[in-house]
Chain A
Amino acid sequence: MKVGILSFQGSFLDHSKSVKAINAKPILIKNKLDIHELDALILPGGESTAMKKINEYSDIFLELDKFIKSGKPTLSTCAGTILLAKAVVGGDTVIPNIDIEITRNAYGRQTESFEGSVSFYNNEDIYCFIRAPKITKILSDKVKVIAQHNSEVVGVQQDNIVALTFHPELNNDRYYLDWLESFIKEGENVGTF
């Protein structure tokens, strides 16, 4: 299994460790040639403004958009989720694929970053939220809530895409890795996952 990880900047090496831990092959994507026969895609955390700028040179978002629309498993965390949102408060839409409105830096600055309990599918654990965005609106009934912190929506699934505002890649706990493995293995059937 080849898992492409957008590697302009951000926590791509942490995601790469997760992918290695489930015995899949991480492919660090920096240009078009790297997007080849991938089984899944991960858009990492980082700074969405920087990723958008770097893409003006690398010009790969259109290819990523095609890959995402092909229905293969796609995971985004934090800034990656901003890239995929259909509406962005305090920023621009980039590869709009998921029917949510997201608000950048919604908890505040770094001093408001936190570790918090998250129910993620059937599990409860503590994850990091780092200058995290908030999913402020769900724009269609295709969007399923799959993760919550207190009563806030912090993770959604729409068909083949799972979009999170927190950082499971900084934990690499057993539940997350098992989930990641089965998510990726579903392949094109992931929509019914």
Chain B
Amino acid sequence: MKIESTNKVKKGLAEMLKGGVIMDVVNAEQAKIAEKAGAVAVMALERIPADIRADGGVARMSSVGIIQEVMDSVSIPVMAKARIGHFVEAQILDSLGIDFIDESEVLTPADEVNHINKQNFKAPFVCGATGLGEATRRIAEGASMIRTKGEAGTGNVVEAVRHMRTITNELNEVIACDENEVVALSKKFKAPLNVLEDIKELKSFPVVNFAAGGIATPADAALMMQLGCDGVFVGSGIFKSGDPAERAEAIVIATTNFNDPKILAEISKDLGEPMVGINIDTLSEEEKLAKRGW
């Protein structure tokens, strides 16, 4: 007996990524640097979020050429982004044999009401969330992994922290509540009741939950791990910094040893310039990517 692409197999890959770092790359050369630095997976992109932010305009799925170039260049899993609700971009990625699809707010949304029905695909999906309601809605649609949205391309970790704390607090409220309160909490968080019931039974979050959006230093990665994330995505933080290979390695070591300040101090030495950050306060509401998704 052999069945491919079951929910268990999809969630299983996310389990194998735990404790690791997933890095944004725009070509084969960067993908190889990421793999060599100890990334557990790479996200193949045409432009990293900081450049998408700077360039403006419509951000779409990356060119198939770039995605295939990255898939051919490394032996670790390769992820790619589809626009929110753009199920045809997801179909194309699925047909390429991509290892994970990120239905991402970093790209311009294609549907203002519906997310992709993620049950229909062979590849597992990861989706961003700012709180428990959003996370559980994505899980009900078939997401096998969740990440904080953070505020991509800013090098500012504050939004990722806010989202992780919100998810954790709301999760704890569900776990601690009286059984008769689950329906009310489902309404309060706009969270599908069946997923909340699963959480209540498991007494934990039902899928792997990574940090993403604004992580730029080893200390940022360790902060998110200490807040309870299962691993981290680093987007612009690596290849927008002074020495990408060094910084990538340091973030990998920090993610494993997130509880050891001595190691964090040692690896944070001589790292070169981090990416220049953006204060979230200076972004207008329309410029905030975390607002995308429903």
Contacts of B41 in A (CB 8 A): 47
Select A114's contact among B3, B18, B19, B260, beta carbons within 8 Å. B3
Select B20's contact among A47, A111, A167, beta carbons within 8 Å. A47
B 28-53 binary contact with A (CB < 8 Å = 1; else 0): 00000001111111000000000000
Per the bound structure, the CA–CA distance linking A77 and B256 in Å amounts to 19
Per the bound structure, the CA–CA distance linking A158 and B35 in Å amounts to 31
Per the bound structure, the CA–CA distance linking A120 and B13 in Å amounts to 22
Question: Which residues between 108 and 141 of chain A lie within 8 Å of chain B, taking CB atoms?
Answer: 108-117, 126, 128-131
Select A111's contact among B2, B4, B256, beta carbons within 8 Å. B4
A 144-179 binary contact with B (CB < 8 Å = 1; else 0): 000001100000000000000001001000000000
Per the bound structure, the CA–CA distance linking A63 and B110 in Å amounts to 53
Known: A9-B256, A10-B16, A113-B12. A47 touches B97 (CB 8 A): no
In the complex, whether A54 has a CB less than 8 A from a CB of chain B is: yes
Is the Cβ of B15 less than 8 Å from the Cβ of A11? yes
Contacts of B3 in A (CB 8 A): 114-116
Is the Cβ of B252 less than 8 Å from the Cβ of A113? no
Is the Cβ of B40 less than 8 Å from the Cβ of A112? no
Is the Cβ of B76 less than 8 Å from the Cβ of A47? yes
Select A131's contact among B4, B77, B122, B253, beta carbons within 8 Å. B77
Closest chain-A Cβ to B140's Cβ sits at a distance in Å of 22
A 53-66 binary contact with B (CB < 8 Å = 1; else 0): 11001100000000
Per the bound structure, the CA–CA distance linking A130 and B5 in Å amounts to 10
Select B97's contact among A90, A108, A129, beta carbons within 8 Å. A108
Contacts of B2 in A (CB 8 A): 114-117, 149-150
In the complex, whether B117 has a CB less than 8 A from a CB of chain A is: no
Is the Cβ of B19 less than 8 Å from the Cβ of A117? no
Chain B: which residue is nearest A51 at the CB level?
B38
Closest chain-B Cβ to A152's Cβ sits at a distance in Å of 10
Known: A9-B40, A9-B256, A54-B256. A128 touches B19 (CB 8 A): no
Is the Cβ of B12 less than 8 Å from the Cβ of A111? no
Select B38's contact among A54, A115, A116, A167, beta carbons within 8 Å. A54
Number of interface residues of A (CB under 8 A): 44
Is the Cβ of B9 less than 8 Å from the Cβ of A109? no
In the complex, whether B191 has a CB less than 8 A from a CB of chain A is: no
In the complex, whether A23 has a CB less than 8 A from a CB of chain B is: no
Chain B: which residue is nearest A167 at the CB level?
B12
Contacts of B18 in A (CB 8 A): 9-13, 46
In the complex, whether B172 has a CB less than 8 A from a CB of chain A is: no
Number of interface residues of B (CB under 8 A): 44
Contacts of A131 in B (CB 8 A): 13, 16, 77, 99
Known: A111-B97, A114-B2. A50 touches B9 (CB 8 A): no
Is the Cβ of B256 less than 8 Å from the Cβ of A11? no
Per the bound structure, the CA–CA distance linking A115 and B97 in Å amounts to 18
In the complex, whether A49 has a CB less than 8 A from a CB of chain B is: yes
Chain A: which residue is nearest B124 at the CB level?
A110
Chain A: which residue is nearest B11 at the CB level?
A170
In the complex, whether A67 has a CB less than 8 A from a CB of chain B is: no
Select A8's contact among B9, B13, B19, B75, beta carbons within 8 Å. B19
Per the bound structure, the CA–CA distance linking A31 and B262 in Å amounts to 13
Closest chain-B Cβ to A80's Cβ sits at a distance in Å of 11
In the complex, whether B100 has a CB less than 8 A from a CB of chain A is: yes
Contacts of B13 in A (CB 8 A): 110, 113, 130-131
Is the Cβ of A104 less than 8 Å from the Cβ of B15? no
A 1-45 binary contact with B (CB < 8 Å = 1; else 0): 000000111111110000000000000001100000000000001
Show 17 A/B contacts (Cβ-Cβ < 8 Å), sorted by A: A7-B19, A9-B19, A9-B256, A30-B260, A46-B19, A50-B38, A50-B39, A50-B252, A58-B256, A110-B97, A111-B4, A111-B122, A112-B4, A113-B5, A115-B3, A117-B2, A128-B9
| Closest 8 pairs between A and B when the two form their complex, measured CB to CB | A53-B38, A110-B99, A9-B19, A117-B1, A116-B2, A9-B20, A111-B122, A47-B40
Question: Using a CB–CB distance below 8 Å, which chain A residues touch chain B?
Answer: 7-14, 30-31, 45-47, 49-50, 53-54, 57-58, 78-79, 90-91, 104-105, 108-117, 126, 128-131, 149-150, 167, 170
